[in-house]
């Protein structure tokens, strides 16, 4: 299946997409969030987690220093930020495989552990526009089809 191309005109559009993705993803899905600093990766992850928790006020601390924050939700979600990952082998120690077998993994800075991430994954790549962001979601065809359906609702 073709990649999904979206224009996110403002922060609200990024949040809305995070909410749609929370309806589309299921246990075993890995969503890599790619893009420069300030691109919107954490905004998307926060909206995803709040929607999955059905709690608009859910605290979503940045996993920059802990590298992972886990949430026991309808589907368990682990939010990784690999910016400070020193070595790919550390991903094992963070419990990535267990997190993926139980639930959904959201991964910021996936570039730091590409070799260790599952081949069957989704990648959402942000780029800055003058106004807003361009987003390309590519990867696993079956998961992309689920996302297409949730975007159409």
42 touching ligand ADP, by CB under 6 A:
yes
Question: According to CB under 5 A, which one of 42, 43, 78, 123 is a site residue for Mg ion?
Answer: 42
Q: Which is nearer to ligand ADP, 13 or 23 (CB)?
A: 13
With tokens 């949730």, the residue in question is: 150
Taking each helix axis from N to C end, the angle separating 11-24 and 41-53, rounded to the nearest 10 degrees, works out to 50
Q: Which of the choices ligand ADP, Mg ion, none does residue 11 contact, using the CB cut-off of 5 to 8 A by kind?
A: ligand ADP
For residues 48 and 67, give the distance between their C-alpha atoms in angstroms, rounded to a whole number. 18
Q: Which stretch binds ligand ADP (CB under 6 A): 31-39, 49-57, 112-120, 138-146?
A: 31-39
Polymer length in residues for the chain: 153
SS3 130: coil
Contact status: 121 vs ligand ADP (CB under 6 A): no
Q: Which is nearer to ligand ADP, 58 or 102 (CB)?
A: 58
123 binding partner (options Mg ion, ligand ADP, none; Cβ < 5 to 8 Å by kind): none
Closer to ligand ADP by Cβ: residue 28 or 60 = 60
SS (H, E, C) 45-107: HHHHHHHHHCCCCCCCCCCCCCCEEEECCCCCEEEEECCCCCCCCHHHHCCHHHHHHHCEEEE
Could you say whether residue 79 binds ligand ADP (CB under 6 A)?
A: no
Q: Can you give the binding site for ligand ADP, defined by CB under 6 A? A: 8, 10-11, 13-14, 35, 37-43, 132-133
Q: Can you give the binding site for Mg ion, defined by CB under 5 A? A: 41-42
């Amino acid at each position: 299946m073709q990649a999904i191309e979206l224009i996110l005109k403002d922060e609200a559009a990024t949040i809305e997409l995070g909410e749609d993705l929370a309806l589309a993803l299921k246990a075993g899905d890995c969503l890599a969030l790619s893009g420069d600093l300030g691109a919107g990766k954490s905004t998307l992850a926060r909206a995803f987690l709040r929607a999955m928790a059905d709690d608009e006020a859910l605290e979503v601390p940045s996993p920059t220093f802990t590298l992972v924050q886990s949430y026991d939700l309808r589907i368990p979600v682990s939010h990784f930020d690999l910016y400070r990952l020193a070595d790919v082998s550390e991903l094992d120690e963070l419990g990535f495989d267990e997190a993926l077998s139980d639930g959904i993994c959201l991964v910021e800075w996936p570039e730091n552990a590409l070799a260790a991430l599952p081949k069957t994954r989704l990648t959402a790549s942000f780029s800055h526009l003058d106004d807003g962001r361009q987003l390309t979601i590519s990867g696993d065809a079956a998961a992309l089809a689920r996302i297409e359906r949730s975007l159409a609702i």
